[in-house]
Structure 1
Amino acid sequence: MLVPGGIAVPSSRMSRTPLPGIGVRYDVNTRDHRRLSVVARRDGSRTLNAYERDDPDECALSMQLTAGESAALIDALMPSHHSPSLLHTTDLGLVAERVELSAHSYWNGRVLGETCMRTETGVSIVAVIRRTHAIPSPGPDFRLAGGDTLIVIGTREGVEAADTILGRE
């Protein structure tokens, strides 16, 4: 399934909603018609919400999780993803985030090198997701398009600066 921004998600019952300046909200509708949501904040923290079955707008449980607690929960839910060779960027002071390029973006139709991203922010754009395809390691001559989702990695400050630059309209 594709959600806004062309991002593939494994379940047809999941949606993704960008929350400008905050992060992203993920909503999951379970097989037994329960709704869960996770607000993934830019600082790495998460809010996990579970809603009443008979009133999907009434929150039955809300928990604030630190980045570390979120990582532990992910490990508990997806132990097959735990691998000693997997790089945990937060342990190194780095973050990796998705930044969506709007259709009205100043950068729509321009080449990646024009952003001066690495020079201005210190972040690297390691991939671009366009519709259903991932383009790994795009070069400076890669032409950006509205709707692209850029995977950026760098310091928290650098990633926030990249989001500001890429959000220019």
Structure 2
Amino acid sequence: MNVEVTQLPGIGVRKDISLAGCRRTIGIIDHKDGTIDLIVSKPGNPDETQQISLSDHEATVLANLLGAPQVVAKLQDEHREFGELVTRQLAVRAGSPYAGCPLGDTRMRTRTSVSIVAVMRAGHAIPSPGPEFLFTAGDVLVVVGTAEGLAAAARIMTDG
């Protein structure tokens, strides 16, 4: 499945997917001000859409409903024997100092010993993001480390 990305000058970025078996699309508009709109087209007419504004919290919950918990649960199941190892989800909020910045700028692993093993974006898992990976508001990071490291990682994503 392809994600169609369209730059909206002065507004932000629109990302759409076409649903298999019908002429219908769903997507989001990621506004420059950090707000997110959900877009759903009418059945049989992908050009006629309904737009729903989402708060940061609503966008994060929707991302979770679309797959982030399954990735985290799978990681927790596979790593239980390592005792102190914990897996957690961290949202990149619109006000985060790292929204729009590369992962490497966080120096997350050096500062906390936490690993970012995947990023959930628009319902898709991006495994093993490299230091050049650009965070976007609304991303959900799947992180692994100690409880203390994860708490420090959460503070970094919120406060810098």
Range of TM-score over shorter length: 0.5 to 0.7
- Taking structure 1 as the reference length, what is the TM-score of the superposition? 0.51
Please name the residue that 1:48 is paired with.
Answer: none
Please name the residue that 1:108 is paired with.
Answer: 99
Q: Residue 132 of structure 1: which of 123, 140, 145 is its match?
A: 123
Q: Residue 8 of structure 1: which of 61, 65, 72 is its match?
A: 65
Contact kept, 8 Å, 1:89 with 1:96, in 2: the verdict is no
Q: Residue 94 of structure 1: which of 80, 85, 88 is its match?
A: 85
Identity value in percent: 43
CA change 1:90–1:155 in 2 (3 A) is: farther
* Aligned amino acid, residue 97 of structure 2: Y
- Taking structure 2 as the reference length, what is the TM-score of the superposition? 0.53
Offset of residue 130 of structure 1: 0.8
Q: Residue 144 of structure 1: which of 135, 140, 155 is its match?
A: 135
Query: d(CA) in 1 for partners of 2:128 and 2:159?
Result: 22
Please name the residue that 1:117 is paired with.
Answer: 108
Query: Secondary structure of the residue that 2:159 maps to in structure 1?
Result: coil
Offset of residue 87 of structure 1: 1.9
Gaps of at least 5 residues in structure 2 are 1-37, 39-57, 68-72
Offset of residue 131 of structure 1: 1.5
Offset of residue 91 of structure 1: 4.4
Number of equivalenced pairs: 95
Gaps of at least 5 residues in structure 1 are 11-73, 75-80
* Aligned amino acid, residue 65 of structure 2: A
Offset of residue 4 of structure 1: 2.9
Cα deviation 1:99-129 (Å, max 9, x = unaligned) = 0010111101100000000000000000001
Contact kept, 8 Å, 2:87 with 2:143, in 1: the verdict is yes
Query: d(CA) in 2 for partners of 1:103 and 1:120?
Result: 22
Query: d(CA) in 2 for partners of 1:149 and 1:118?
Result: 17
Query: Secondary structure of the residue that 2:155 maps to in structure 1?
Result: helix
Contact kept, 8 Å, 2:66 with 2:123, in 1: the verdict is no
Offset of residue 89 of structure 1: 3.3
Query: d(CA) in 2 for partners of 1:153 and 1:160?
Result: 11
Q: Counterparts of 1:34-113 in structure 2 under 5 Å?
A: 86-89=77-80, 91-113=82-104
Cα deviation 1:54-98 (Å, max 9, x = unaligned) = xxxxxxxxxxxxxxxxxxxx9xxxxxx8xxxx5233742110000
> 4+ residue runs of structure 1 moved beyond 4 angstroms?
none
* Aligned amino acid, residue 112 of structure 2: T
Query: Secondary structure of the residue that 1:167 maps to in structure 2?
Result: helix
Contact kept, 8 Å, 2:108 with 2:115, in 1: the verdict is yes
